[in-house]
Amino acid sequence: MKYDISEIFYSFQGEGFLQGLPMIFVRLAGCNLRCPFCDTVHAFEKGSRLGVRSILDRLIPFGCKRVCITGGEPFIQDLGPLVKALKEKRFWVTAETNGTAWQEVPLDWLTVSPKAEARKLLPKGYDRRFLDAASEFKYVISSNDDFSFIDKRIKQPVILQPVDNDLGKAREIWEYLKKNPGRNWYLRLQNHKITGSR
């Protein structure tokens, strides 16, 4: 099995509930959405074709046993063989998806980040099956309208991330959360951008 890979690199998780954890990122190429605020447009391209063995060989030298499969949109490729191989090598595996393409894979953590652009495909922007499978949901907030897009049925942590770390938007999120304190929603910035990390 071969995968279209945009890049593989070692850094720390800069977003979501797992912020601050050292992690290897396997960024798969290709995406089924074209969000205007996307900060990884380079992952739209095809990338390099790598087999599972070649991917594993690139991970070992980093000395970290946490892997995040991201994109682009990783769930448009068959993640089963890659995740199986990673788990056999005792990696702790997480993935991030926009939630439009369903796969059932044995992940240790799953971040679903619905995008408003996906409403033309699915009413809430993501496949309903992710409502039970996700470990967290993450929404990029670019306007006050985005608050109404968030699925209120979600019981997992909901991360609210201001677009481009915009501090004005962060303050709007903070004010919204102060008025709605009973929800499982959190304000988080993109720490990797603040620290200048990859």
Contact 115, 137 (CB under 8 A): no
pLDDT tens-place string over residues 2-52: 999 999 999 999 999 999 999 999 999 987 776 666 666 565 677 889 999
- Segments making up each domain of the chain, as ranges: 2-194
Q: Is domain 2-194 in CATH 3.20.20.70, yes or no?
A: yes
pLDDT of residue 118: 84
Quick check: 57 pLDDT over 70?
yes
Give 39-43 contacts, CB < 8 A, sequence gap 24+. 39/164, 40/6, 40/71, 40/72, 42/6, 43/6, 43/7, 43/71, 43/72
pLDDT tens-place string over residues 126-178: 999 999 999 999 999 998 889 999 999 999 999 999 998 889 999 999 999 99
